[in-house]
Structure 1
Amino acid sequence: MNNNFGIILFLALCSMMCLSSCGDSSDTVADSHPAETIEEKMPEENAEDTNMLDSEEPPTKQGTDWSVYEPLYVGTVPVGCIMVPDATPENVSDCIKSALQTDQNFYASDYGSKYIESKMVIDELLDIYGCTGTAIFNFDWSGTLSDIVFKFDDGGTFTPELFNTLHSDICAALDVSECWDKAYGLHKDAQNDGYYSCSWRGDDLGFECSLNCYFDDSGKPDGGMIEFERTVRYTSSNSSVQKLSKSDSIMQDGLTVEGTYHDVSNPYVDGTITNNSDDTVKFVEVKVALYNDGRVTDTDWTYAVGAEGLEPGESSQWKLYCSDAEAIKISFME
């Protein structure tokens, strides 16, 4: 009897110990740390990389804050608008309005050439160092300002000395000492006497641009014009075509000009001009931009039609000797 009682008591104590152990196990699971995650099992250096990615700031918004942007002005001409990727007609108009302190809006008209989608022409309101005239703002097919042509009223009070001043001002705005092709910048090109040119480029700038002007024997701009141009490689995003070639054509106001570059010992561009308008035209000036490695390395111009005139329906030949080039772009002189 006593033995049986002892056995029963022993079994009861064992049962109580088992129940107590299960309860403790449950409490232990609830209070313990969660199982290690994959990230916690990563080596320490990988964990640091993960922290760097977590703390990385989002990319900044692309483009220019035009509410505060103040481009480089030469006189009242915002040449600094060449240097930003989103210089649309609306933004350029805002800059001009700011410079002139006027509420007048300026608009671009459709142009529709191979490289120029629209033009903004402003007469008599703008100046360069006090030299007044007409400013032509050309916008490419991405809607961005590609070049500024300034035509002086009186045939040109703009001098080589002012060209040098403009070069210095642009260099100061870019925080560089001089343009990269100093062999041509601020000096007469040996192949084109009187041609002044200067270009700025580099990965740190994010763009390329050039300043060009022909000066005649009297020291005045030939045709009264100076051009400041963005010389980036044309792509499908900023041009109506995908690449440049050795042939080009342009149509404007009923005139069609075609031209082809000839790579010979004395290279030249020749072509035709056809008058499809209702009027006789005279003194039509054609400009040829010469490209190497996707950028403008030289420009030249000639009269496609002279004093003899070109009547409606007529065509005429023109020819221009030039420097070496891989591709060309034809335009009308303004």
Structure 2
Amino acid sequence: MRNPKKLAAGIAGLSVLLLAGCSQGGTETASTTPADQPVTSAAPAAAAPAPFDQPGVKVAIVQNSGGGDYFQQYLNGTKLQAEALGIDLSVYDAQGDNATQATQLDQAIASGVTGIIVRHGFPDTLCPGVNKAIEQGISVVIYDVEIQACAPDAVQTQQSDAVMASLVLDQMAADIGTGQDVGYVNVLGIAPLDRRDVVWNEYVEKNDWNQLFFTGTYTNSTATDTAAMVNNALRANPDVIAVYAPYDELTKGTLSALEQSTELKGKVKVYGADISTADIELMTADGSPWMATGATDPNAIGAAVMRTLALNMAGEITKGTKAEFPPILITQDFLRSKNIKNMVDLRAAEPALNIADIMSADWIPAVTF
């Protein structure tokens, strides 16, 4: 009998909470994208089961990416784990177009793949295709789409968004105290941002914060488009002392708006989500108001979701499984005190970001970042 490595840690009922957290309309084959870190792949300890006992297993990822390097890092991790498993991976990217993503999902089903990852998007446009794939015997793993109600047989994966938000908002509460004027930058209707929104509202009530504005948008240029909206909100509400923006492109837009509001420089603290080398540079810059972020390593998450699909295809996890991946809190003070300049430094300082043993087994080559 095979010995899964922390396999149960990601399964529904045992969801992981171990830590306090291409071209439009087209496809591409799986060539790894440049990464800002060394990558290692350990040889498996056991022979792979079918269908992975033969090379060239065909899998697709049907994604709906937005702006920013989070999406690039996630896809990089997905590709690297696919490559280690000998998977022939096709990539479909709707780039914010929901109708296109539904069409691409149909294209992936018709292409003859035996497994599909569906990343981001909306249930209404995805559920028909997801159920169609499952009915045809294709394994489907979802990432960050609330699809359980309409496609209960799909395997669901996500970051532990409630934990991520709580980590950051605990830090924000410690920094600013109760009864303060605050701003909020988010976009509802997107699964992970909706989950963070629930926690935000709890903290607003618990800390008696006065939310003076709620703004933000999700586009292919989220940071740029959000900056103008936040700038207007800040001008109308100059008493704000802190802003929560729980997606790094929204955080970047908030930082940009504060750069334009010279009268508010040094007066407003910003709390975000996600991490990348670009984010680290922004957090550690002189005078940066970005005080804390809750994050996973997107490369590691992409690899973990690919491993989840492989386990499902091999029959080692059942339909309807739910896996969550734990985030950590990263503060500006921590980055500066450890002289962390990039993701290489951060991974060395925070090995918990590497989740290679979550949703894995002894026959899966371990890809670490």
Task: Report if TM-score (shorter chain) is over 0.5.
Answer: no
Coarse TM-score class (shorter-chain normalised) = under 0.3
User: Under a length normalisation based on structure 1, what TM-score does the superposition of the two structures give?
Assistant: 0.26
Bigger share in strand: 1
* Larger-gyration structure (1/2): 1
Bigger share in helix: 2
User: Under a length normalisation based on structure 2, what TM-score does the superposition of the two structures give?
Assistant: 0.24
